[in-house]
Amino acid sequence: MITRRAIKQYLLLILYSLLIVAILLGVNSVSPSPVTLKNILLLTAGFTLVSLIALIIFFFGQNTNPEKNVFSTLTAIGVKMVLSFILALLFFAVFKNKETGSVILFFILYLAFTVFVFFTFLRIIKRKST
């Protein structure tokens, strides 16, 4: 859904993704890391897309019918979880990334983007309730 609040959150997600890439590249350049640039960019782009889809579903449900707010929030969380599972399947099975650094990077990015999405949901719901 295209509202000022939604656009602001989409832009914050993109800035958050760029910040994460910058931090990971900085850490990768300072010390030798088992994580490659390809894995960093692939996973960050994948989780950004998954989070963007979850935010679109959330904002669409928030703006259409106030009685379906809870359902849209739960749907957005469920879709994010399923898409993250698909991303994990692609990343580990198809691209054959089985190194320890790749696994740790995946779960760190999953946690970072999940926290961002949940705090965004909570902030929007809190503002709507007051």
- Which two tokens mark 78? 């469920």
CA 32/CA 9 separation, integer angstroms: 34
> What is the amino acid identity at position 2?
I
The 10s digit of each residue's pLDDT in 54-101 is: 999 999 888 777 777 889 899 999 999 999 999 999 998 888 888 888
CA 37/CA 4 separation, integer angstroms: 34
What's the predicted TM-score (pTM) here?
Answer: 0.92
Spatial contact of 76 and 54, defined as CB atoms under 8 Å apart: yes
